Amino acid sequence: MSALAADRLSPAPVLVCGLGALGQACLQRLLAFDLPLHGVDLRQPNWRDPELESRLAATLTYGDMRLAHVLRQAGAERASAVLLLSADSTINFEAALQVRLLNPTAEIVVRSTSRLADLGALLEHRLPGVAVVDPILLCADAIATALRPASVQASVEVDGQIIQLLEAPVQDLRQQKKVWLPESPSGSPPVWLSARSPQLNWDPLAPGQTRRHRALAWLRSSIQQRRAWLRARTRLQRWAFALLILLVLVGVRNFSQMGGWKQGVFVTLALLKGEYVDPVNLLLSDTTGMEALSGWLIGGTLFYSLVGTLLTSALVAVILERLLRERLGVERIRLPRRGPAPVLLVEGSALAQRIAQRLRRQQQLVVVRVGPGGSDGSKDKGIVQFEQLEEALQALEGRPVAAVGLLSTDLLANLEAAMALQQRWPEAGVAVLAHDFGAAEPLGELLGGLAVISTVDLVADAVVAAAFGERVEGVLQLQGSHLLIVRYRLEERDNLCGLNICRLENGYGVTGVSLRRPRHHEPILLPPPELVLAAGDQLVVLASAASLRSIELGQPVPPRYRLRIQFRGEVLPERRFQAQQSLARWIGCLPGEVVHLLDGERHLTPPVDREICDLLLEDLRRQGVDCTLSCSNAWEPAPPSP
């Protein structure tokens, strides 16, 4: 990100190498930015849009993108950004080195795969201005959102925190934030972000709280976890656990009648460990002889000893099973019998692994994976791995499935398996991955409501954003719009420094999700509107490609709201000073610049954003100032704040 808009308005071209489905999708999005576009391909592309063919007819170069003379002919030496989007990642990496030799300043985007993830990370570290993009892994958030059951709220993970996505007409604005969507269907409810998640890390103590509040919160959380653990057990397991507790209580009460409660605890635990002679001898020491023993004592101790023998045998069996499993590497695959219906993922390799981890962390769903290679080494028992689809279907026999994801690179194989599994589980949601198929949504409607997810459509926006120097961490699909999860690292020259969160969101149409400050260990989730950005901050936003481009150009939408205020003369002088300070704080100017607004006449404040107007309105009314909210274009009172 550059602070100078002139740098972004220069006529330097954008070079796209590899004009397959992804390359052409990126070119279609770059058309809206009115930039010179050049292309390189080994042979005549199979054009999907006649407009692209006519636009690049004069600037298309044929040849190997790894050759210096081909890149020079295509204008790589003066390009502002070079996108290397061949289907062969090895070729893309070789071409990236050649481009960097020819052009030390261009932004380079390299299409990669999970197989070359380590090489990509090293290249990004060694060569500034190089962004390595894996189209498949970028789609993990979008696919995980599509696979969630209807009863589970969508969520996204940012900075190790779980942010929930809610669709509802009315929300608590103090704890939630509305998502800016570039295109939303008419009548669809707004989407809100909520940080109220049980998986969030501990925050510092809020003002007015003590460590007693923290302890009580921890106690409540522990009780909820124990309840969740009990609900996840089978009915037989819960009855067995309750019976064991009952046996301990009854044994302590009865065996303590002769020698006190300590003896009762010792005898009960010894019998439940499987011993018999020693605890019975301890009881006999308190009696005058065998003839004094009652029948219940003989039968009761024998019963407790038999139960203890069974418990000890079960414990030994579990220990031996774990030792053999660690020694021999053989583990029996089991599915949890309780809890929500599982999600089935077929193929997908690294993508399936990432989706499974997201579903577990964000939504606590049991995930059944099908793919070669066995277990991925995850310690999470909620991710179950099978080698073959038949094995997974046999394990899921007679059980409902919440959703099915077909993640193979073969579209026809995915569709065939999807329709077969949809007949097996008609109520389950089915998501199909289509790598290079453009019309994903119409295809899903044609095939009976399948969710067909095209990686080309999702990733093209991320690649274009990376071409402008942004760091894209994921892609979301909400109400037909593609939103990028982008991380900004602010420096002194950045044009975002000095803006508050409200001006950033209203001016550029992005949604601030998380803010990290240099001297704070924990991120600020859903940062408040009045917080001002500074150098050194790390800001994560949800944004469209067009919003990111407007940030690069430094062309925000101006604020539209003002306050019509009148300061009454009978108000105390100290209230006048407080009102002056409030105006200067929320408008963003020096206190002396707002003195004329408090002379007793009716005035209009400078235009600010709606959220700031609401805060200023509440502050001024509390200080005795008459004020109403108005739009800056027409001085009619605006609708009341939600």
- The domain that holds 292 is classified in CATH as 1.10.287
Q: Which helix (H) or strand (E) holds 386?
A: strand 383-386
Q: What is the mean pLDDT of residues 451-462?
A: 81
Mean confidence (pLDDT) of the chain? 79
Q: What DSSP state is assigned to residue 360? A: H
Residue 444 domain-assigned (yes or no): no
Would you say how long the chain is, in residues?
642
Q: Is residue 176 part of a domain?
A: no
Whether 496 is covered by a domain: the verdict is: no
Burial class (CB in 10 A: 0-12, 13-18, 19+), 103: buried
Question: Mean pLDDT highest for which of 344-348, 581-585, 625-629?
Answer: 344-348
Under 8 Å between Cβ of 613 and 629: yes
Residue 635 has pLDDT above 50, yes or no: no
Decide which of 302, 328, 354 is a domain's last residue.
328
Least reliable range by pLDDT among 165-169, 393-397, 529-533: 165-169
- 482 belongs to a structural domain: no
Token pair belonging to 328: 């021999």
Kindly tell me if the per-residue pLDDT of 182 is higher than 90: no
d(CA 279, CA 290): 15
Decide: helix, strand or coil at residue 368: strand
**H or E element, residue 40:** strand 37-41
Whole-angstrom Cα distance, residue 243 to residue 238? 9
270, 299, 328 — which closes off a domain? 328
Quick count: other Cβ atoms within 10 Å of Cβ 551? Answer: 25
Q: Over 80: is that where the pLDDT of 563 sits? A: yes
pLDDT the model gives residue 202: 41
Q: How far apart are the first and last CA of the chain?
A: 34
Q: What is the percent of the chain with per-residue pLDDT over 90, rounded to a whole number?
A: 11
Residue 311 placed within a domain:
yes
Residue 182 lies inside a defined structural domain of this protein: no
Q: What is the CATH number of the domain that holds 594?
A: 3.30.1390
What pLDDT, in 10s, does the model give residues 584-611? 877 777 778 788 887 778 888 888 888 8
| Domain closes at, from 104, 133, 162 | 133
Query: Which residues have C-beta within 8 Å of that of residue 518, sequence separation ≥ 6?
Result: 536, 537
pLDDT tens digit string along 476-486? Answer: 877 777 788 88
Query: Angle between the 455-467 and 21-30 helix axes, to the nearest 10 degrees?
Result: 50
Structural domain contains residue 50? yes
Residue 42: CB partners within 8 Å, gap ≥ 6? 62, 63, 64, 65
More confident residue, 63 or 146: 63
What is the count of structural domains for the chain? Answer: 3
- The residue among 417 and 331 whose pLDDT is bigger is 417
Asked if pLDDT for residue 197 goes beyond 60, the answer is no
Q: Which of 501, 631, 614 has the alpha carbon at shortest distance from 560? A: 631
> Across residues 186-194, what is the average pLDDT?
76
The answer on 240 and 117 residing in a single domain is: no
Are 481 and 547 in contact by the 8 Å Cβ rule? The answer is no
The reply to whether 623 falls in a domain is: yes
Distance CA 324, CA 571 (A): 82
- Pair 241, 120 in one domain: no
Which is more confidently placed, 313 or 167?
313
Rounded to whole angstroms, how far apart are CA atoms 466 and 472? 7
Q: Is residue 619 predicted with pLDDT exceeding 90? A: no
Range of the domain at 285: 235-328
Choice between 294 and 82, residue whose per-residue pLDDT is larger: 82
Mean pLDDT (whole number) for 555-566: 86
Q: How confident is the model at residue 434 (pLDDT cuts 50, 70, 90)?
A: confident
Candidates 439, 453, 440, 413; CA nearest to 421 is 413
Q: How distant is the alpha carbon of residue 539 from its chain centre? A: 15
pLDDT band at 211 (very low <50, low <70, confident <90, very high): low
Domain shared by 239 and 129, yes or no: no
Residue 61 has pLDDT above 90, yes or no: yes
